[in-house]
Amino acid sequence: MARPRTLGNCLAPAKLNLFLHVVGRRADGYHLLQSAFRLLDWGDRLSFSVRDDGLVRRLGEVSGVAEADDLVVRAARLLQASTGCTLGADITLTKHLPMGGGLGGGSSDAATTLLALNHLWGTGLGREQLQTLGLRLGADVPFFIFGRDAFVEGIGERLQPLALPPRWYVVLSPQVSVPTAEIFSSQDLTRNTEPLKIADFATGTTRNDLQAVACRRYPEVAAAIDWLAQHAPARMTGSGACVFAQVGSADEAQRIVASCPPQWQAWPARSLAQHPLAHLVEG
């Protein structure tokens, strides 16, 4: 059967870090983490069309990201370079996720690109090979290729599946950008949280170790947590700036979103059991 030449309207889902502990530091300065990553059913959208001339093009503008720097373009070129593939692609990216929000948008866009083009180009990499390649683009990319909720360790490369019940969330963007590097380089960051065992994750006390630093430097993040906490326990995801709360139903999520102060943006989101492109790769 002829290989398809297009894939349209592919989801690049957001993620939440249900908790995030900093448990140490590598010799190169990168921090060793433990985290529960959860996929959401909401995210960016991408479409792909194969080109025979080998060019990789992003069609349309993405505010603040030059074409050559875009993680979707970098992901496509990395896949070409590492497999010797001579095909190219036109890629349309429609952003819905706030950038630098701790929702993993750029990493998820890269993962969706690797999954889609590995299929369309017939480059035949397995899931673990794609995860290893993805790590070169960003620490969260392997998780999105893994494609299901995970207990994540190292800087993002050690993944174990987590079985979590379906849930509704409210995600709130305080409309500030929190640079990941600034939070990790803070003198005040807790870097020695006692490592958890995966079995203790559900029963133990967890937090986001980056939250205290982000709240001190960006009071808008603290204000967003305080506002959301009136409705349900609220926490920051990743290095911020977005915050989230688990709620009981779609209706409750909608009610909270509808009452969000006008200076912020909020969305209802549901957990997602599996990445919609997970079936495209073996392993």
Ligand X SMILES: C[C@@](CO)(OP(=O)(O)O)[C@H](O)COP(=O)(O)OP(=O)(O)OC[C@H]1O[C@@H](n2ccc(N)nc2=O)[C@H](O)[C@@H]1O
Ligand Y SMILES: Nc1ncnc2c1ncn2[C@@H]1O[C@H](COP(=O)(O)OP(=O)(O)O)[C@@H](O)[C@H]1O
Based on CB atoms, which residue is closest to ligand Y, 96 or 191? 96
Say whether 197 is catalytic: no
Contact region with ligand Y (CB under 6 A), list: 69-77, 192-200, 223-231, 258-266: 69-77
C-alpha 283/C-alpha 276 separation (Å) is 15
C-alpha 196/C-alpha 204 separation (Å) is 8
Based on CB atoms, which residue is closest to ligand X, 68 or 99? 99
Among the listed residues 119, 239, 264, 271, the single contact to ligand X using CB under 6 A: 239
Residue 124 labelled as part of a binding site: no
- Say if CB 51 and CB 88 are below 8 A apart: yes
C-alpha 51/C-alpha 57 separation (Å) is 9
Tokens of 35: 């985290």
Residue 99 labelled as part of a binding site: yes
Please provide the size of the chain in residues.
283
Among the listed residues 18, 20, 46, 65, the single contact to ligand Y using CB under 6 A: 65
Say whether 53 is catalytic: no
Instruction: For residue 209, state whether it binds ligand X (rule: CB under 6 A).
Output: no
Contact region with ligand Y (CB under 6 A), list: 26-34, 35-43, 94-102, 119-127: 94-102
Residue 86's φ and ψ, nearest 5 degrees, are: -100, 0
Among the listed residues 102, 134, 268, 276, the single contact to ligand X using CB under 6 A: 102
Distance in angstroms between the alpha carbons of the first and the last residue of the chain: 22
User: Could you say which residues in the range 29-48 bind ligand X, by CB under 6 A?
Assistant: 29-31, 33
- Partners of 84 in the beta sheet? none
**C-alpha distance from residue 136 to each of 111, 140, 173, 221 (Å):** 11, 10, 28, 29
C-alpha 155/C-alpha 238 separation (Å) is 12
Q: Which residues bind ligand Y (CB under 6 A)?
A: 65, 69-72, 93, 99-107, 109, 238-239
Give the catalytic positions in this structure.
Answer: 15, 140
Residues near ligand X (CB under 6 A): 17, 20, 29-31, 33, 102, 104, 138-140, 155-156, 180-181, 184, 238-239
